[in-house]
Chains A and B, each alone.
Chain A
Amino acid sequence: EAQVTQNPRYLITVTGKKLTVTCSQNMNHEYMSWYRQDPGLGLRQIYYSMNVEVTDKGDVPEGYKVSRKEKRNFPLILESPSPNQTSLYFCASSLLTGMAGGYTFGSGTRLTVV
């Protein structure tokens, strides 16, 4: 089944403790992206990647890092999480050209930083 898999689904952590949210897709998509969803603010892009070893900042990159060492994986790293990073996070992927088929989203990771 074609899908984007995120882990974990739920995570509660303490301020300053480094964490990684994993994202993997099995559709051979070139493009991958991370979004955060907050009430009233919709989906805001954190980082995106056009292909392996190519990453760039989205609208709200502060406090986050990403890497794209393999085509299928795009982990999101929070080096020193803070409470304002409490949010619902989504990974998405798509074919690069023409946005054919649009984005495929993962099921989300609900992160709480206390």
Chain B
Amino acid sequence: GENVEQHPSTLSVQEGDSAVIKCTYSDSASNYFPWYKQELGKGPQLIIDIRSNVGEKKDQRIAVTLNKTAKHFSLHITETQPEDSAVYFCAAPRAGNMLTFGGGTRLMVKP
């Protein structure tokens, strides 16, 4: 089955700096890679996703890049703000409609 590894587990940046979170996956047939943001006391919320027919997708300050050959994808947040502080999860699909999630990254943006 699919195995997803996420690094780092914690990340602390200064406000205004960039943050990068990386995930690797094992199943070369995987074709959909979402990222979720979990704020304190809330459920994870989809913030961006990418399908395997593109290498990069942007939405304002966040972007996701995909390297199918190396089987890894990354979340990039530019000009970080305190409200970006949260736990971020990557995921990759497996059989049926299921997602396998990475272990999560706690991002702390210091003012």
Interface residues of A (CB under 8 A from B): 4, 31, 33, 35, 40-45, 48, 50, 58, 90, 92, 94, 96, 98-99, 101-108
Interface size of B by CB at 8 A reads: 22
Nearest residue (CB) in B for A98 is B32
Which of B41, B42, B46, B96 lies in contact with A103, CB distance below 8 A? B46
Cβ-defined contact, B43 with A41, below 8 A: no
Please tell me if the beta carbons of B89 and A45 are within 8 angstroms of each other in the complex.
Answer: no
Distance of A48 Cα from B99 Cα, bound (Å): 11
Q: Is B101 an interface residue (CB 8 A)?
A: yes
Pick the 9 closest A-B CB pairs, nearest first.
A105-B43, A102-B46, A42-B103, A43-B101, A102-B34, A31-B97, A42-B101, A105-B44, A42-B104
Check if A33 sits within 8 Å of B42, measured CB to CB.
Answer: no
Q: Can you give 28 contacting A-B residue pairs, CB < 8 Å?
A: A31-B97, A35-B101, A42-B89, A42-B101, A42-B103, A43-B89, A43-B104, A44-B101, A48-B96, A50-B97, A90-B43, A92-B43, A94-B97, A96-B97, A98-B32, A99-B93, A99-B99, A101-B46, A102-B46, A102-B49, A103-B34, A103-B44, A103-B46, A103-B99, A107-B41, A107-B42, A107-B43, A108-B41
Does B70 reach chain A (CB closer than 8 Å)? Answer: no
B residues whose Cβ falls under 8 Å from a Cβ of A: 6, 9, 32, 34, 36, 41-46, 49, 89, 93, 96-99, 101-104
A residues in contact with B36, CB < 8 Å = 102-103, 105
Chain B residues whose C-beta falls within 8 Å of the C-beta of A92 in the assembled complex:
43
A43 touches B44 (CB 8 A): yes
With a cutoff of 8 Å between Cβ atoms, the chain A residues found around residue B32 in the complex are 98-99
Which among B96, B98, B101, B103 has the greatest number of chain A C-beta atoms within 10 A?
A: B98
CB contact between A42 and one of B46, B93, B102 (< 8 Å): that residue: B102
A106 CA / B103 CA spacing, docked (Å):
19
Smallest CB–CB gap between A24 and chain B, Å?
A: 14
Q: How far is the CB of A40 from chain B (nearest CB, A)?
A: 7
Q: In whole angstroms, what is the CA distance A48 to B89 when docked? A: 19
Tell me whether B93 and A108 are in contact (CB under 8 A): no
Q: Give the interface centre of B6, B89, B101 by most chain A CB atoms within 10 Å.
A: B101
